[in-house]
Amino acid sequence: MTQRTALVTGGTRGIGKAICLELARDDFHVVIGGRTVSAGESIDSFSDGEPLPGSLEQTRAEIEAIGGSASFAVMDLLDNASVESAADRVLADRGRIDVLVNNAIMSTAQSSTLFTLDYSMEMFQREMQVNFFGALALIKRVLPNMLELGGGRVINMSARSFYSNLPAPGRGGPRLSYTENKAAISRVAGSLRAEYGREGILAFDVDPGPCLTEKADRAMSALGYDPAIFAPLSAPASVVRFLASAPVEQLPANGSHVMAQEFSVNRGLHQPWREGIEAPSRVELAQFLPVATGGVDG
């Protein structure tokens, strides 16, 4: 098959769904990864058991409604065998995965409020499994195919909370359970660049910033978030589309950490949605950027 194929985890709603639609508009065949096959199957921890909107079937239908091509892969990131078999099915069906977007996360009300001593080891381990080990299992499964094709792109969704200290003591805001696994996944792009950059693997760490997902919308009052901090889902989605498709010479350095909200406005990928969206300090990000300056091995 010659049509490019992108696999996006967590594509049932939120940022992942927006990314799926953007990639479909760019003529990718989009494989939507997730657990929720039909509407009403996913329960929201922020709203007393009320189902969250969105499903694999719904995202596929929306892609097809705009003339795009899509399929879905049912996978449970808590189970590496489920992830690996899902990737194998995609490769058997499509023959290629050109772009992998590790977007899915486990994020609960508890992980945003509980302190370290309140959080059980089992809860820590479950979040690390979904947010890091499950994504790593998927990377390891698709890398051989990318290398055989002569290259591919891996995009991991990060969070700025992993490289900046939490606010003053108090409840609310991401706790250790969230920041520790985001710190882990945020070191993968640089390693892939060092290991496989010369063989055509491009990897990026994308920080979407606060975005108005379905969960965020429901959590604002419970956790005390200011609605003004949230960006539209289309902002990070436009950045992922650019990183998935742009010629190498237009891309940031291989292995880079990309702050999506600022990048989308500064590169003209998205119209500003509020005042004061500025480029991040180069000094602030220096320790997270690759040593080299650009190109496939940069």
> What pTM value is reported for the model?
0.86
Q: Classify residue 92: in a domain, yes or no.
A: yes
Q: Classify residue 298: in a domain, yes or no.
A: no
Q: Classify residue 11: in a domain, yes or no.
A: yes
Full residue range of the structural domain in which residue 248 is found: 5-288
Least confident of 143-147, 199-203, 293-297: 293-297
Q: Classify residue 294: in a domain, yes or no.
A: no
- Residues 119-132: tens digit of each pLDDT: 889 988 998 999 99
Number of domains in the chain: 1
* Predicted confidence (pLDDT) at residue 61 exceeds the cutoff of 90: yes
* Predicted confidence (pLDDT) at residue 43 exceeds the cutoff of 90: no
Q: Classify residue 193: in a domain, yes or no.
A: yes
> Pick from 167, 162, 144, 164: which is nearest to 154 by CA?
144
CATH at residue 260: 3.40.50.720
Q: Classify residue 296: in a domain, yes or no.
A: no
Q: Classify residue 293: in a domain, yes or no.
A: no
- Residues 173-232: tens digit of each pLDDT: 567 777 888 889 999 999 999 999 999 999 999 999 877 776 666 666 666 666 677 788
Cβ contacts of 38 within 8 Å, gap of 6 or more: 55, 56, 57
Q: Classify residue 297: in a domain, yes or no.
A: no
The DSSP bridge pattern shows strands 29-34 and 5-9 to be parallel
